[in-house]
C-alpha cells in the first residue's frame, strides 16, 4: 500500500490524528472503493474516486484501475485483477504431466512458449532426464522462445503506440509480428497456444525448408524494426509523453520484486539467461541491454534492443540446427516420449501410417503401451522443483510438486506480470490521469498470466 502525506486524507473507518499538523489522516484497509467513498462522504471529505476499466481500451478489457484524483493529478492508484481467472493451475492438477503444456501455454497468451518451456524443464528435472533431452530439441526450444520474445515485445510496442493515438505504430508492429506467427504456424501448426514444447523434447521436428524461411523473415523483420525506430524514437510527441513518466527506480524494483525490462531500465542487468542459464543459453553470444533513466521511454528503447539481441540468438540457433542435421527431438525413453514416434501423416495430422500399421497390426504390446501412455500418462518420482526462465516481461518461475503419480500434486507459476503490477501505484501517484496509460503500457502486463 502506498503512503500519503497528511495533507492528502484517505478514508476508511480508521481516523488517526496527526500530532504535528492536527490534520486527520484516513487509512484504507481492504474493501472496495465504493465502501471507501461512502466512508469519505460520511466524514465530509471531498474525494473523487474513478474506475479506469475493466472496459477501458488501455486496460485491455480485463484490468481495473481504481484512481483517486485531485483535478488531473492521481493521489492514489490501485489495480483490481481477477476478471480473467481461468483456474489453469488447479486444472493442471487434474491432468497428466503430458497434458500440462496444453494448459499453461494459455496463461500469458502473448508469450505461450515460455510457460511451456519452464514447465517442461521442471518436469524433466523431476524425472532426472535433463541431460537426455536431444541437443536438436534444446536448440529448437531456444529458437522458438527467442522468436516469441520478439513477437511479444512487438505487441507491447504496437499496442502502446496505439493507446497513445499513434495507429501507424500499431499497424507496423503487428505486420512485423505476422512474420513470426507464420513461422510458428509452419513449425507447430498453430499461431499461438502451441503445446509444442513437451516433457522430453518437442512435439515434432521443424519441417524441411523452415531454416531458409526463418532467415528470410529475419531480413523482413529488420526492415519493419527500422520503420518502428523512425516512427517512435524520432518522434518528439512520443518522447514528451514517455520521458520521465512511469518512473520506478532500482530501490522500488527490488522492494517489489519487479523483473524484466522494467528492472533493467533501472540499471540492474539481471537476466535469468545469464544469471541461471538453461537450455544452453550460456553458449550463445548476446548482451543484456540496460538503462538508468528508469522511465517509460527507456523501456521502449530497451525492448527494441532486446529484439535485436534475440535476432542474434535466432541466427545462432539456425546455424547450429544446420550443423547438427536431422536427428531425434524427443528423449529415447519410450516410457516418457509422448506421443510415441510422432510423425505427420499423409493427411497432415496424427501419427505416420507406418507407426499406426505397426501398433494396430503387428505389435499388441506397442498398442497397449501407446494406449496407456496417452490415457494414463507416465509417473514422475515424488519431489518438488522450482524452475525459472527469462520471459519477455521478467522472471517466470514454476513450482511443481509430485507425489509419485501421473499428475502434478501442485502446479504454481510465478508470473512476472502479476508481480510487476504491484508497481502501478508507485509509478502513477503524483502524475496525471493521462500518464496512467503510459505507465501501465510500459509494464506490459498480460492479464492471462496475472489471473491464471
Whether residue 190 sits in one domain with residue 136: yes
Where do runs of H (alpha helix) occur along 26-166? 33-42, 88-92, 100-104, 112-127, 135-163
Total-model pTM: 0.84
pLDDT in tens, 87-114: 899 999 999 888 888 898 988 888 999 9
Residue 343 sits in the same domain as residue 306: no
Measured CA to CA in angstroms, residue 336 lies from 339, 374, 439 at distances of: 9, 10, 45
Residue 2 resides in a domain: no
Specify whether the CB–CB gap between 48 and 70 falls below 8 A.
Answer: yes
Q: How many CB atoms lie within 10 A of CB 349?
A: 8
Residue 1 lies in a domain: no
What are the beta bridge partners of residue 17?
Answer: 24
SS3 386: strand
Residues 355 and 231 in one domain: no
- Look at residue 214 and tell me if it is in a domain: yes
Selection from 86, 311, 74 nearest residue 179 by Cα: 311
DSSP state of 424: H
pLDDT tens for each residue of 226-265? 998 888 888 888 888 888 888 889 998 898 999 989 999 9
- Quick check: is 5 in a domain? no
Q: Are residues 169 and 126 in the same domain?
A: yes
Q: What are phi and psi of 348, to 5 degrees?
A: 80, 5
Same domain, 265 and 207: yes
Among all chains, which residue has been given the C-alpha cell 509422448?
338
- Specify the pLDDT at position 218: 92
Tens of pLDDT, residues 379-429: 889 999 999 999 999 999 999 999 988 899 999 999 999 999 888 888 888
The answer to whether residue 275 is domain-embedded is yes
Q: What is the pLDDT of residues 286-342, one digit of tens each?
A: 999 998 888 889 999 999 999 999 999 999 999 999 998 888 888 888 778 765 454
Q: Cell triple for residue 15?
A: 481516523
What's the total number of domains in the chain? 3
pLDDT recorded at residue 8: 39
Distances (CA, A) of 250 to 290, 297, 414, 427: 12, 16, 21, 13
**Location of C-alpha cell 514517455:** 242
What sign results for the dihedral spanned by CA atoms 228, 233, 237, 240?
A: positive
**Cell numbers placing 92:** 493442471
Same domain membership, residue 174 and residue 35: no
Q: What are the residue ranges of helices labelled H in 164-204?
A: 167-188
pLDDT band at 376 (very low <50, low <70, confident <90, very high): confident
Which comes out higher in pLDDT, residue 264 or 9? 264
Q: How far apart are the first and last CA of the chain?
A: 23
pLDDT confidence bin for 33, thresholds 50/70/90: low
pLDDT > 50? residue 122 = yes
Q: Which domain holds residue 57?
A: 14-80
Please check whether residue 49 is in contact with residue 66, taking contact to mean a CB–CB distance below 8 angstroms. yes
Please report the pLDDT score of residue 181 as a whole number. 93
| 58 and 201 co-located in one domain | no
Residue 6 falls inside a structural domain? no
The percent of residues in the chain predicted with pLDDT above 90, rounded, is: 33
CB distance 423 to 64 below 8 Å: no
Handedness of CA 126, 131, 133, 139 (dihedral sign): positive
59 and 121 both lie in a single domain: no
User: Has residue 65 been placed in a domain?
Assistant: yes
User: How many Å apart are CA 52 and CA 65, to the nearest integer?
Assistant: 5
DSSP designation for 359: I
Residue 222 lies in a domain: yes
Amino acid at each position: 500500500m502506498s503512503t500519503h502525506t497528511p495533507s492528502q486524507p484517505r478514508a476508511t473507518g480508521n481516523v488517526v490524528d496527526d500530532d504535528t499538523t492536527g490534520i486527520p489522516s484516513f487509512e484504507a484497509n481492504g474493501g472496495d472503493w465504493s465502501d471507501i467513498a461512502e466512508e469519505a462522504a460520511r466524514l465530509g471529505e471531498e474525494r473523487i474516486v474513478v474506475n479506469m476499466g475493466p472496459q477501458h481500451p488501455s486496460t485491455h478489457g480485463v484490468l481495473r484501475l481504481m484512481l483517486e484524483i485531485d483535478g488531473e493529478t492521481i493521489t492514489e492508484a490501485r489495480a483490481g485483477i481477477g476478471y480473467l481467472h481461468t483456474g489453469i493451475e488447479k486444472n493442471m492438477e487434474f491432468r497428466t504431466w503430458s497434458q500440462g503444456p496444453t494448459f499453461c501455454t494459455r496463461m500469458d497468451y502473448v508469450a505461450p512458449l515460455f510457460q511451456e518451456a519452464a514447465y517442461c524443464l521442471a518436469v524433466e528435472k523431476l524425472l532426472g532426464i535433463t541431460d537426455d533431452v536431444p541437443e536438436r530439441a534444446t536448440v529448437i526450444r531456444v529458437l522458438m522462445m527467442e522468436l516469441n520474445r520478439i513477437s511479444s515485445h512487438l505487441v507491447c510496442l504496437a499496442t502502446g503506440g496505439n493507446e497513445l493515438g499513434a495507429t501507424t505504430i500499431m499497424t507496423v508492429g503487428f505486420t512485423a509480428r505476422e512474420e513470426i506467427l507464420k513461422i510458428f504456424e509452419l513449425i507447430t501448426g498453430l499461431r499461438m497456444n502451441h503445446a509444442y514444447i513437451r516433457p522430453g523434447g518437442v512435439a515434432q521436428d521443424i519441417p524441411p525448408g523452415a531454416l531458409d524461411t526463418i532467415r528470410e523473415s529475419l531480413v523482413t523483420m529488420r526492415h519493419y524494426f527500422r520503420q518502428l525506430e523512425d516512427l517512435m524514437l524520432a518522434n518528439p510527441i512520443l518522447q514528451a509523453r514517455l520521458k520521465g513518466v512511469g518512473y520506478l527506480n532500482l530501490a522500488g524494483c527490488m522492494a517489489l520484486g519487479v523483473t524484466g525490462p522494467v528492472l533493467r531500465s533501472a540499471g540492474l542487468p539481471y537476466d535469468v539467461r545469464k544469471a541461471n542459464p538453461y537450455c544452453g543459453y550460456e553458449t550463445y553470444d548476446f548482451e543484456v541491454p540496460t538503462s538508468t533513466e528508469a522511465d517509460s521511454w527507456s523501456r521502449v528503447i530497451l525492448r527494441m534492443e532486446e529484439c535485436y539481441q534475440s535476432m542474434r540468438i535466432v541466427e545462432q540457433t539456425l546455424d547450429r540446427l544446420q550443423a547438427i542435421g536431422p536427428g531425434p527431438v524427443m528423449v529415447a525413453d519410450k516410457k516418457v516420449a509422448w506421443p510415441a514416434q510422432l510423425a505427420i501423416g499423409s493427411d497432415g495430422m496424427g501419427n505416420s501410417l507406418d507407426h499406426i500399421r505397426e501398433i494396430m497390426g503387428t505389435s499388441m504390446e506397442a498398442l497397449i503401451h501407446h494406449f496407456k501412455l496417452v490415457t494414463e500418462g507416465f509417473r514422475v518420482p515424488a519431489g518438488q522443483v522450482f524452475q525459472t526462465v527469462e520471459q519477455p516481461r521478467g522472471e517466470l518461475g514454476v513450482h511443481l510438486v509430485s507425489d509419485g503419480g501421473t499428475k502434478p500434486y501442485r502446479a504454481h507459476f510465478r508470473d512476472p506480470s502479476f508481480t510487476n503490477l504491484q508497481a502501478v501505484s508507485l509509478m502513477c501517484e503524483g502524475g496525471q490521469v493521462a500518464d496512467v496509460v503510459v505507465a501501465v503500457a510500459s509494464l506490459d502486463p498480460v492479464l492471462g498470466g496475472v489471473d491464471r
